[in-house]
Amino acid sequence: MKNILVTGGLGYIGSHTVVELYNKGYNPIVLDDKSNSEKSVIDSLKKLTKEDLIVLDVDIKNINSLRENLTKINIDGVIHFAAYKSVGESVNNPLKYYSNNITGIINILMIMQDLNINNFIFSSSCTVYGETNQVPIGEFHPVVEAMSPYGNTKQIGEEIIKDLVSSTDFKAYSLRYFNPIGAHGSGVIGELAYGVPNHLVPYLTQVANGTRGGLNVFGNDYNTIDGTCIRDYIHVVDLAKAHIYALDKLLISKEGRIYDVYNLGTGKGTSVLELISAFEKVNKIKIPYNIVERRSGDVEQAFADVTKANKELNWFAKLSIEDALKSAWKWQSYYDKKQKYK
C-alpha cells in the first residue's frame, strides 16, 4: 500500500481526495493545522476511511515540525492542498497569502527533496488564466498577470515546481480547477463556510437554510443566454477522483523528470440562474434572489477545455450539477443539525 501525504487534507477538496485515495487502495496520511477546518472533519473522515487514519497537526510554515513529523514515515507521494484560498482576503492581506502559500510550497518541496520523495501533485486553479474571454479555456492559454495575490500564489507555485523539475529528477503535475461544488454523497464532509460565503453554492445553501434572506445575483446584463455569468461547476467528488488518476500516472512513469498541467472541469458552462433553478428543482426549495450590480473582477464566461485530462489521465467528470447541488444541500443540512446538538 502506497503512503500518500495530503497536506490540507481536512479542507474541502483535500478531505474528498483523502476518501478517494482510500477507496483506490492508497494509504492517505493527512497533514493539516485546522486553520480553515475543524476537528469534526477528522471524525467524518475516519468514518469514511479507517479509524486509524493518521492526521498530523502541523503548520506547513514550520519547516522543523514538518521535517520532524515526515522523517518518521515512508511517503511515496504528496498531494499539496494546504493554502489559503479567499480571493478577496488576499487583496486585503497579501502578506498572509504570500507567507502561507509560498512558504508552504517551498517547505514541502524542500522536505521532499531531503527525504527523496519525487511525486508531487499541486492544487492549482483556473485563476492562473486571469481575465479571459476565450472559451473553452485550454492549457495552452497564456498564464497572464494574476488578478489577485491569491491567484499570484498559484502562478508562483507552478513556477517553483517547473524550476525544480528543470534542475533535478522530480515528477509533478499542477491541476487547475475550475469551480468545485457539492459534497460527498454521504453528506458528512463538504465545504465549510465561515462567515459570509463568497462562493455561489455555499451562499445558496445558506439561503436555503434561512441563514441569509436571499441571494444577490451579480449582474444580468452579460452577453450570455440569460445575462448572468457562466462558470464550469465541477462536482468535488469527480475533482477528487482526478487526483488519483493523475497520481497513478505519475507513480507508474519511469521517466525521471516530469512536469505538466491539467485543467479539471466538466467542459460545460452553466449560468448563475440555471444553477439556482437546478438547486430549486432538485431540492424542492425556493431560492429568493435579487439582481444586483456586477461584482468587480468577474469574467463573463469561464469554462474548461478538458480534452487533455480526458485523453492523458483517462479521467472524465461523470456527476451532474444536480448530483452536486443535492449533495451540497445534504451536507449543509447535516452540518446544521450537528451544530444544533453540539
Residues that bind ligand WQD (CB under 6 A): 85, 87, 125-127, 179, 198-200, 203, 215-218, 229, 231, 272, 295, 298
Q: How far is the CB of 99 from ligand WQD (least distance, A)?
A: 18
Q: Please give the full DSSP string across 224-254, using - where no structure is assigned.
A: SSSSS-EE-EEEHHHHHHHHHHHHHHHHH--
Closer residue to ligand WQD in complex, CB, 49/124: 124
Q: How far is the CB of 294 from ligand WQD (least distance, A)?
A: 8
Q: How far is the CB of 205 from ligand WQD (least distance, A)?
A: 12
Which residues face 260 on adjacent strands? 173
Cα–Cα distance measured from residue 257 to residue 91, given in angstroms and rounded to the nearest whole number: 35
Report whether 187 contacts 179 (CB < 8 A): no
Per residue in 251-267, is it b (16+ CB within 10 Å) or e — as a string? eeeeeeebbbbbbbbbb
Closer residue to ligand WQD in complex, CB, 229/250: 229
150 catalytically annotated: yes
Q: How many separate helices (H) and strands (E) can be counted in the chain?
A: 12, 14
Cα–Cα distance measured from residue 282 to residue 210, given in angstroms and rounded to the nearest whole number: 18
Q: How far is the CB of 2 from ligand WQD (least distance, A)?
A: 28
| DSSP structure class, residue 72 | T
Closer residue to ligand WQD in complex, CB, 87/251: 87
Closer residue to ligand WQD in complex, CB, 67/199: 199
* Selected catalytic residue, list 150, 245, 259, 335: 150
Looking at the annotation, which residues are catalytic? 150
